[in-house]
Every structure is written in structure tokens, then in C-alpha cells.
């Protein structure tokens, strides 16, 4: 397993629409392993393949973080079947939008269909944090970031900040 570089906004690749996976084989499983390793290293709870530069409809999630035993979840070609009309709000961040957070309201419960790590079709009813996390990651598959839900002004301020951070030279201690 390899820790990959996570792309950060602004980056055109993050705005690409990811393509469906036709076959879940060794390459896809290796990609999922790398995604998980990358996500753990960055202390995130979800990651989409596009965030490490692969425009494939693959998501990994682990809500267990460090507190409990690892509980990795893999979602390939996820489709939402049902969305709750009731919404819930979390303060969201994103590994591709480092250091920025905003309150985002999303449907509280969803039902999704997807393929698992072994390519088997699964249906899952999710709510609360898991539902929000899945929806955030599914947005990545469409090239959407959580900052797209903010006002134009807020969004442009965040992008400006991130652009400045990128120009900063790397700090080294020699
Ligand atoms: Ni994200």
C-alpha cells in the first residue's frame, strides 16, 4: 500500500466527472488500498479516487478513526436510490480543501446501491454522519466540492487563501 499525494483546490482534476468502474479486479483493489492508506495518513474519514488523481467512481470511508478498530468501507459506482427530505447539518471539511470548514445541510438518510471491495452488489441505508460522508464523497465523483454550496464571496475567499498557501515555498530544516 502506498500513500499518495492528495490534490487540493484549485485543481482542474478535482472538477472532472469520474467514470464508472467496469470491473473490480486487482488494479481497482490496489487503488482502494492506496486510497485507504492515504486517507488514514491524512487523518480523514473519507476519500474519493479523484482526490489522488484517478477519475474512477470509487470512494473509501472509515468513520472509526483512531479511537476504535479500523472499519474501512468501500463504495464503487454508488447510486442514491432514496433521499430523506429531512436534512442534517455538519461542519464539513475536505482533504482537498485543507484547513477550511463550513456548515453544510444534506439529507439525513439515504439509501445507496454500490459494489463492494469484491465487486458484489450491495444496498445500504445510511444516516447521520455516514450519510453525510457518503454524499460529500459522491459529490467528488461529480467534480463538486463542499465550498460550491457556499456563497460566491465565501467560496472565492477560500480559493484565494488556498492559492496563496500553494505559492508558499516548502519549509525545510537542514
Ligand atoms: Ni472531500
51 within 8 A of 19, measured Cβ to Cβ: no
List 111, 137, 142, 170, catalytic entry: 137
Distance 95 CA to ligand 1 centre (A): 6
Ligand 1 centroid to 11 CA: how many Å? 13
pLDDT of residue 148 exceeding 70: yes
Question: What is the whole-number distance in angstroms between the Cα of residue 145 and the centre of ligand 1?
Answer: 7
**Residue environment code for 30-57, b if the CB has 16+ CB neighbours within 10 A, otherwise e:** ebbbbbbbbbbeeebbbbbbbbbebbbb
Confidence of residue 66 (pLDDT cuts 50, 70, 90): low
Laid out side by side, the sheet with 46-48 consists of 46-48, 58-61, 73-83, 109-115, 121-127
Checking if the pLDDT of 168 tops 80, the result is no
Domain 12-167 has CATH 3.90.45.10: yes
Q: Quick one: 170 exposed, middle or buried, by C-beta within 10 A (0-12, 13-18, 19+)?
A: exposed
Q: Where are the domains of the chain?
A: 12-167
pTM over 0.75: yes
Residue 49 Cα to ligand 1 midpoint, Å, equals 11
26 included as an active-site residue: no
Grid coordinates standing for 173?
Answer: 530544516
How is residue 158 written as a grid cell?
Answer: 477560500
Amino acid at each position: 500500500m502506498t500513500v499518495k499525494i492528495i490534490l487540493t483546490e484549485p485543481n482542474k482534476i478535482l472538477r472532472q466527472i469520474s467514470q464508472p468502474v467496469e470491473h473490480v479486479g486487482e488494479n481497482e483493489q490496489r487503488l482502494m488500498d492506496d486510497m485507504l492508506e492515504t486517507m488514514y495518513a491524512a487523518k480523514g474519514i473519507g476519500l474519493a479516487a479523484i482526490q489522488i488523481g484517478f477519475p474512477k467512481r470509487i470512494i473509501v470511508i472509515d468513520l472509526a478513526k483512531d479511537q476504535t478498530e479500523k472499519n474501512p468501507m468501500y463504495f464503487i459506482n454508488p447510486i442514491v436510490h432514496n433521499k430523506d427530505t429531512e436534512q442534517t447539518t455538519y461542519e464539513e471539511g475536505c482533504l482537498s480543501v485543507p484547513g477550511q470548514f463550513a456548515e453544510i445541510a444534506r439529507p439525513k438518510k439515504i439509501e445507496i446501491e454500490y459494489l463492494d471491495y469484491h465487486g458484489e452488489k450491495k444496498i445500504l441505508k445510511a444516516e447521520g454522519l455516514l450519510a453525510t460522508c457518503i454524499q460529500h464523497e459522491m459529490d467528488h465523483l461529480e467534480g463538486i466540492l463542499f465550498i460550491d454550496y457556499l456563497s460566491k464571496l465565501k467560496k472565492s475567499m477560500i480559493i484565494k487563501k488556498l492559492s496563496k498557501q500553494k505559492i508558499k515555498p516548502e519549509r525545510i530544516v537542514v
